[in-house]
Amino acid sequence: MVTKVAVAQMLSGADLDLNMRCVRDLASQAAKQSAKILVLPENFALFDSAKLIDLAKSEARSSFIHNALSALAKEFGLWIIAGSVPLFLRSIDKVTASCLVFDDKGELVSRYDKIHLFDVDLADRQSSYRESDLFEPGSQLQIVDSPFGVIGLSICYDLRFPEQYQKLRALGAQIIVVPSAFTYLTGQAHWEVLLRARAIENQCYILAANQGGQHSETRTSWGNSMVVDPWGEVLAIKTQSGAGLVLAEIDLAEVHNRRQAMPIMQHRNKAGF
């Protein structure tokens, strides 16, 4: 089955309303291009660490994002995979970075809480990143059974942990999404090679939506949002910074054919690992 997908790149900032207007524009463009799936990047609604926790704890603003995404999915007939949204878990007084999936009727059909948190030191102007200061890690893998194939969910730093993607493949994933906010430094070095490796290892499509451009004096994201096929070929890429769509057609027959010709999972199981 052939499906047109739209991967959104954004340059989100600290203005929630402005960011959500951009989301609407991208959803409209995706629908006009006959896309069925729209993937948004990590932190699409707000790219400001100081405001993320306040957003999560504000029931009104959290509901605004949820309702806006639901309405857009229904209005434009899109499955929207919404990068990451900070969600407050009142029962444990913690915030998760969560990927929300809405079907084309506007129903929330899945949620994935980011498992691997970005706690690293880099030789860039930001120098130190500590997501664990803000977020509680998730613990459960998530796949979504959609009309377009089984979709595995991941977020950004998860990309560096191949065992997570292998487990998603074992659960049936044919498509894996990677909404991200990769830094310029790490993205320049590793973004494309990691995406292509995950596609090749798991013989699946990778839909990678990244933030792209300068957000502040200290934070610049890499961009280069792309779609990669099960052979590791880059089908489409946005090389310019700023907001826009990457559009490509994906064909599940290609997934089937690659897996039949090279039965990696069968060989891995025989090896005992």
Could you list the active site residues? 42, 114, 156
CA 139, CA 89: separation in Å to the nearest integer? 14
What residue type is 118 in one-letter code?
F
CA 170, CA 167: separation in Å to the nearest integer? 5
CA end-to-end distance (rounded Å), the chain: 32
CA 224, CA 213: separation in Å to the nearest integer? 10
Report angle CA 5, 11, 16 to the nearest 5 degrees: 100
Task: Output the six-digit token pair for 236.
Answer: 């489409």
How far is C-alpha 32 from the geometric centre of its chain's CA atoms? 22
Beta bridge partners of 245: 8
Task: Please report which helix (H) or strand (E) contains residue 110, including its range.
Answer: strand 108-113
Task: Output the six-digit token pair for 52.
Answer: 């993320």
CA 113, CA 3: separation in Å to the nearest integer? 26
CA 96, CA 89: separation in Å to the nearest integer? 8
